[in-house]
């Protein structure tokens, strides 16, 4: 990954491999899972053995004699890496048996780029589960905490997104070219393998529609009318895109406050660079002139907040809040003990959002926050504090500002 370390993930992987016989490392294709797995120290001792299931020869080898291969290997200390595990869900019941063997001395690292395939392979398709035997770690594309060492790099991350080959490309044109090739390759290769029969052309059209809906409420019936399919079919398509880590459906927050609240989720494309390629915005100037620039920044900051809190070990659930009267808050963090409402504004000098004040009153939140595109941190009065959005590049400082407890410090 050309010298850019994945902040804390190597230590987290090492720690989980000491506690569990297996670790599932999952995330979108090309986000750096294989590169990260190669950076692991040999903490278990012994050899490192890799099965890449995208290579026909290695996939055929496991299909022909999986128990002999993995059973013999696991009696020798070391690390067994199985890449693209979702391509062979029949391995899950075998792995369950191997992980329970008292003679096992090896550890397993399972890499996957499709969350639903892992779940269905482990639970539904094989009627077996790795629950209690495997830890799960989600790897995202680059986070601001890993690469945004300056304002220029923060903007670059926003425009290009976090996929290593896009972020590290020599030029904006080269970055855009990579992103424009990524989506068709993903849809044409992975979806037929994981969900045979799904229409790739329709899913491509749906992604374009979702790019223009980015940050808005999902109406499956309206999307279905535009695609010529049924609303339940759209729901299944959204499940697939979400499982490929392309899409996030942010759920609404409900509380018994005597108000009618929105029940539809908000939809975001998780990587801002892929969003911009679908919107045909090639650089920051084109982006700033686009009608979706505010929604783009909002989705980008939300993803960065969630990634930063994950690095810091913050245990929270994530929602948005919106009433039928139009009052809304972009992000609610619910730790179980406190609720933290957050608004995201591209402007460097935002006003106090009415929806934020209404949310704070209705949910009895003592403080609310506005993450903005400027550089200053200051009080806005009435319990609202303005924070620069670039604070997401400093997870420990972000947790401190939001008054969130963290379970581990974030160090490069």
- The helix (H) or strand (E) run that includes residue 22 is strand 22-26
Domains and CATH numbers, the chain: 9-138 (3.40.50.300), 144-402 (no CATH)
Give the model's pLDDT for residue 37: 87
Mean of pLDDT values over 311-327: 90
Calculate the CA dihedral of residues 185, 186, 192, 194 and round it to 10 degrees: 150
Cα(340)–Cα(336) distance, integer angstroms: 11
Side-chain half-sphere CA neighbours of 147 within 13 A:
25
* The three-state (H, E, C) secondary structure of 210-274, written as one string: HHHHCCCECCHHHHHHHHCCCHHHHHHHHHHHHHCCCEEEECECCCCCCCCECCCCEEEECCHHH
More confident residue, 367 or 98: 367
- The helix (H) or strand (E) run that includes residue 136 is strand 134-138
Confidence class for position 39, pLDDT limits 50, 70, 90 = confident
Q: What is the pLDDT of residues 192-246, one digit of tens each?
A: 877 778 899 999 999 999 999 999 999 999 999 999 999 999 999 999 999 899 9
Cα(270)–Cα(248) distance, integer angstroms: 6
User: Among 135-139, 150-154, 211-215, 284-288, where is mean pLDDT lowest?
Assistant: 135-139
326: alpha, beta or left? (left if phi > 0; alpha if psi -120 to 50): left
- The helix (H) or strand (E) run that includes residue 56 is helix 56-64
Q: What is the pLDDT of residues 366-386, one digit of tens each?
A: 999 999 999 999 999 999 999
pTM: 0.91
pLDDT at 129 over 80: no
- Residue keyed to tokens 């940050």: 215
Mean of pLDDT values over 11-15: 84
Confidence class for position 18, pLDDT limits 50, 70, 90 = confident
Q: Which two tokens stand for residue 157?
A: 């991350």
Confidence class for position 64, pLDDT limits 50, 70, 90 = low
Of 15-29, 125-139, 201-215, where does the model show the most confidence?
201-215
User: Among 26-40, 145-159, 171-185, where is mean pLDDT lowest?
Assistant: 26-40
């Amino acid at each position: 990954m050309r010298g850019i370390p994945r902040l804390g993930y190597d230590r987290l992987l090492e720690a989980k491999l000491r506690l569990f016989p297996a670790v599932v490392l999952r995330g979108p294709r090309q986000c750096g899972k294989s590169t990260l797995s190669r950076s692991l120290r040999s903490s278990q001792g012994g050899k490192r053995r890799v099965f890449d299931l995208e290579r026909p020869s290695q996939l055929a080898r496991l299909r022909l004699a999986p128990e002999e291969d993995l059973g013999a290997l696991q009696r020798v200390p070391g690390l067994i890496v199985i890449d693209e595990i979702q391509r062979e869900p029949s391995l899950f019941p075998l792995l369950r048996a191997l992980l329970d063997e008292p003679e096992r001395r090896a550890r397993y690292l399972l890499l996957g780029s499709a969350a639903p395939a892992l779940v269905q392979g482990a639970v539904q398709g094989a009627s077996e589960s790795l629950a209690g035997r495997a830890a799960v770690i989600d790897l995202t594309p680059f986070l601001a905490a890993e690469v945004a060492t300056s304002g220029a790099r923060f903007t670059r991350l926003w425009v290009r997104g976090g996929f290593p080959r896009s972020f590290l490309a020599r030029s904006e044109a080269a970055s855009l070219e990579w992103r424009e090739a990524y989506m068709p390759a993903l849809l044409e290769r992975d979806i037929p393998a994981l969900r045979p029969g799904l229409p790739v052309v329709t899913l491509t059209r749906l992604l374009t529609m979702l790019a223009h809906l980015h940050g808005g409420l999902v109406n499956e019936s309206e999307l279905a009318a535009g695609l010529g399919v049924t609303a339940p079919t759209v729901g299944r398509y959204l499940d697939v895109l979400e499982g490929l880590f392309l899409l996030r459906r942010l759920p609404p927050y409900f509380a018994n406050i005597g108000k009618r609240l929105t029940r539809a989720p908000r939809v975001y494309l998780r990587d801002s660079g892929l969003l911009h390629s679908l919107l045909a915005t090639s650089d920051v100037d084109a982006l700033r002139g686009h009608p979706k620039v505010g929604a783009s920044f909002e989705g980008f900051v939300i993803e960065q907040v969630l990634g930063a809190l994950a690095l810091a070990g913050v245990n929270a659930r994530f929602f948005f809040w919106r009433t039928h009267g139009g009052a809304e808050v972009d992000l609610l963090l619910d730790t179980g003990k406190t609720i933290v409402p957050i608004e995201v504004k591209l402007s460097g000098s935002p006003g106090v959002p009415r929806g934020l004040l209404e949310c704070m009153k209705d949910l009895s939140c003592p403080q609310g926050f506005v993450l903005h595109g400027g550089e200053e941190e200051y009080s806005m009065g009435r319990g609202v504090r303005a924070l620069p959005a670039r604070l997401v590049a400093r997870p420990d400082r972000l947790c401190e500002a939001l008054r969130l407890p963290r379970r581990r410090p974030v160090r490069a």
